[in-house]
Chains A and B, each alone.
Chain A
Amino acid sequence: MITCDEFMADLGNYLEGDVAVEVRRQLEHHLSHCQICQVVYDSTLKTVKIVTDSGSFDLPDAAAGPIKDKIMARIRKKSVS
């Protein structure tokens, strides 16, 4: 049975789906026995989902067009000069 520290050391790879089958088995075994790591794992997954779904820092529709026009105007001006 792996320790909580060992679990935390592999959590990054586990979340990224990037662990070997044997390691995955050990991590999942640990999760099924350790309440704290279970909470950390579960809430980290939920954090990722909340961040992904939050629409944070989205460019307002109204701003997109004018900025694009400004960019193209600056580029055209540069290429002419």
Chain B
Amino acid sequence: MAGFGLEWIQMSYLAEVDLGSSFRPFGALQNLFGFVPNLFRAQTLLPRIIEAEAGLAAAVLGKDRALPRSQKELMALVVAAAYGDTYCFTQQHQTLCSLGVADHQLDQIVRDHHEAGLSRPDTVLLDYALKLAMAAPWLSGKDINLLRDHGFTDESILEAIVVTGLTDFFCTLSRGLDPPHDFQPRPIPGSSKAPQADLRSYAGGTAGPYLPTVELSPERFPPFALFLERFGLIPKLFRAQTLRPDLIEAEADAVRKVLGPVDILSHVQKECIFLVGSAANLNTYCVAAHCEMLRTMGVSMEESDQIAVDHHHAELSEADKSLLDFALKLTARSSEFDREDIELLRRHGFSEKHILEAVAATALNNFFNTLQMGLGTTPDYDTKHVFGPKEAHLSSAVDRPRERAQLDPDAELVGRVQNGDLDTFEELVARHSRRVYRTLMAIIGNVEAAQDAMQDTFLKAFQHIGEFQGRSKFSTWLVTIANNTGVQRLRERRHIESLDDVPSKADAEFRPRQIRAWAEDPEQLCSQAERRELVERELMKLPVKYRVVLALRDIEQLSGQETAEALGLGIAAMKARLLRARLMLREALAPHFVSSAKRTGP
């Protein structure tokens, strides 16, 4: 081990115990790395977890089957650099130096591997690893074909996926545990450019499976028997790796050792950690899987959906919420993760072992999320969430901001249309034509023009459905298009007042003039048809920005948030406009509904 001065001596976040020199996983790690990295010593409270990790590391890195070790370490190096993980970066750097790669060349590779004198296949391989680590939802069969074109076999591609996943695993552990450096920490040279996302190529990680498989029978292959017993099926994530049964064995062992025992965190707690982590990673496949797991543990689908979307509003104890906050931060905003997050869990009564298990579960989830994105397996269970491209994830090398996932009743149909099923779009048109029409009528006010604009709205929606990212509900997205289409039509028809001003002050200053009390039950004063005619007539007299906000919030009954989204407004601006609109309409309706109004109707 390299000598290092006192200044690097630090404690990791959690307590450690001495497992003695005969602890076998340490022997395996010694063989693999030439020493036992502190990353593993920081987990001595739960030896079974170190066993799982050592087994996984040996299966992934230890065997020179398809890719040579140096290629694997190079991938790990650029991925750790992209994640901004100094601990893992330093360790990979050291390993590569010991394999004979020069310092300055490594720095150049990290700065820009395209300009580092690497062979074309090496460059393509690093491109792939970075894309999988930083922009997984944009991966598609094309990326796999590019690797094949450069001579990579299916088995070596599988190895590339697993190496990237393992690096994510170890970087998450390093963030969560903050182990003392094994070597003098190396600053990460200005890191590789994050891969550019092309929205059109968004695949969402379920466009595969990309790699061929072989048949393995559960009778002869114990890991599959374990999955059958545990999950009731053999998840496609594992079926997709049958080119390398030894990898599946190591993964099954990790599942057994990390998720199996319930002496510390409960099954439900661990599944919830996997669920919120997978949602943060926008992993449709894994979210569906963990919702199903939770269902088998007695957690309703509604509840697990709520946990995936926003666990703060789920029926969980404060301690469990803080546990999931912890996992979410470690997954989604790991650069902000620090000792204080550990302290928070301690204050909620979690022990050192609880916290270690939570870190390990979060890290293992990242591993499987990366594998799934790389393999592109389609879900084993029904999906309620369709996750969109995480371009925010691309904007920073270390942050993976969680995007808002919503319960969207259209998610499944939209997914089918996105996969090319044109006929399903008809069902979406049927579901939403009234909503779109009403929105357009409120804007345009003319039946023929509104029906015409309705066709355009759906046509635009169809043309751009590939860009729909599931950040808002599909219905809100559609209403946004309808609103834009309607306003555009109206502009073409006549000059209209601007919709874009920031009118909060003017909106707030509206003063009511009609102050006579209304009838107890004003709707009895005239018939439904009369009321409809009256409302339509008076609405059309309002400036367009006011009738649109009324149409969306009070006729369509979108939520405040959805209304604001559809109009491209902030919540406060939307509320100010909405109040003004309601008050203006109130003025117009008042003469018809004051308590002395005649029953003859408007």
Contacts and interface: CB of A to CB of B under 8 A. Distances in A.
A44 B582 contact: yes
A63 B531 contact: no
Contact of B455 (A36, A39, A58, A74): A74
B539 interface: yes
Contacts of B555: 51-52, 54, 56-57
A23 interface: no
A60 to B, nearest CB: 9
Given A43-B593, A55-B532, A57-B551, A72 B426 contact: yes
Contact of B441 (A15, A49, A57): A57
A12 B575 contact: yes
Given A68-B433, A71-B455, A71-B458, A40 B579 contact: no
A47 B496 CA distance: 26
A15 B438 CA distance: 23
A13 B458 CA distance: 34
Contacts of B582: 15, 44, 47-48
Majority-rule SS of A interface residues: helix
A20 interface: no
A52 B554 contact: yes
A53 interface: yes
Given A44-B582, A52-B554, A16 B535 contact: no
Given A42-B517, A57-B441, A75-B422, A51 B430 contact: no
B516 interface: yes
Nearest to B433: A64
Interface string A53-81: 11111110001100110111011101100
Contacts of A8: 508, 511-512
Contacts of B550: 51
B454 A67 contact: yes
B70 to A, nearest CB: 48
Contacts of B515: 36, 39-40
A9 B504 CA distance: 11
A43 B532 CA distance: 17
B560 A18 contact: yes
The 9 closest A-B pairs by CB, nearest first: A12-B579, A57-B441, A59-B437, A54-B535, A57-B438, A47-B586, A43-B518, A51-B554, A12-B575
